Amino acid sequence: MSSALGTRLGGIGRWLPGLLISIIAIGLLLQLADWQEVIQALRGIEIAGLLPAIIFYVLGNAFRALTWMTLLQNKAPYRRVFVVLNEGYLLNNILPFRLGELARVVLLSQSARLSPFFVLSTIIIERAYDVALAAGLLLATLPLVIGMKNASMVAITALGLVLVGLVTLFLLARNREVLKAKLGKASDTHDSFRQRFINRMDSFIDGLGVLIRPGQFFLSLSFIIISWSFGVLEIHFLLNNGEAHSPLWWTGFVLGVVSLGIAIPSAPAQLGVYEVAMVGALTLLGYPAGQALAVALVAHLIHIGFTGVVGTLGLIREGETLTGLYARLKNLTRMDVAR
């Protein structure tokens, strides 16, 4: 009984910090926002003006799937990659701990007959791209926001860490055979070690192969840059839908802040944290707070709505259930990944 209680409390302890952060963020919004202004701003949004934003989001989502397919070295068809991507986003909006990323590993590896560790390595590269681009946007726009070039240390640090990480992954992929030989010698007398570690490491490094293939690397990087460009256009159209108007570089700054902001622990779907990050960035630029919150709510709804529809249809078609998926995610580390 006490052991079960301890396990349950330990589980609560893992998701509680993120939930508290979201509660605090929502509390700030409820306390500080002028809701009459927010409602007025929402009413002022032209429905026809939302269409370009939705189209740009869909295009950005489509190019992100192209990015992932390229990182997967075209070992999975585009349609499957696109559906699994949105299934993962849907589960991120429902389950804690960003389990949607692990769900992408499980769902794609089983349908495309790929090693889970191969798929995982491609998601790590994709996320590294995201952090690098977010930091790059901040580096490019922060001097324009506050007029101080030395104030971009956070962005420089984030970008530097990502570059170090990518170089490390590149060296792992480049020296794959040497590493395998050394690990093989270390495991000559430990067959279980060879089976449980060598094979998994081999699959993981195989997923990094795009980093040592210039053509695939630059193609994947081009696709993710195009995806982010559509994201910039989406938010830009939303910012300029009502009475307020903003230059394009504002959107770059906002997207950089939001992308780094939602990296902190939060409740599923980054509830509250997404809105606070966007409102904070926009008000720093002088954008009306009420309209900023209206834009944040609409943008968040577009993201959740589209991924929710595509992800739900995908899961239903595959006969998947949330409870079944959650149980498999908990047992992910026990999966046999020797392919």
CA distance linking residue 262 with residue 304, whole number of Å: 14
Using the structure block, give the residue that is written with the tokens 């349609």: 79
Q: Look up residue 197 and give its two tokens.
A: 């570690």
Average pLDDT value for the chain: 80
Considering only 58-62, 241-245, 257-261, which range has the smallest mean pLDDT?
241-245
The amino acid sitting at 215 is: G
The yes-or-no verdict on residue 316 having pLDDT over 80 is yes
Question: For the chain, what are the domain ranges?
Answer: 34-334
Read off the pTM: 0.82
Kindly give, in sequence order, each residue whose CB lies less than 8 Å from that of residue 248, ignoring residues fewer than 6 positions away. Answer: 232, 236
Q: Residue 259 to residues 160, 162, 336: CA-CA distances in angstroms?
A: 17, 14, 34
Q: Residue 125 to residues 19, 87, 112: CA-CA distances in angstroms?
A: 27, 19, 19
- In total, the chain counts a number of residues equal to 339
- List pLDDT tens digits, range 23-61: 888 888 888 778 888 888 888 887 777 899 999 999 999
Using the structure block, give the residue that is written with the tokens 């929402």: 42
E runs forming strands in 237-329: none
Q: Between 189 and 304, where is the model more confident?
A: 304
329 confidence band (pLDDT: 50, 70, 90): confident
- List pLDDT tens digits, range 153-177: 666 666 677 777 777 777 777 776 6
Residues 302-327 have a mean pLDDT of 90
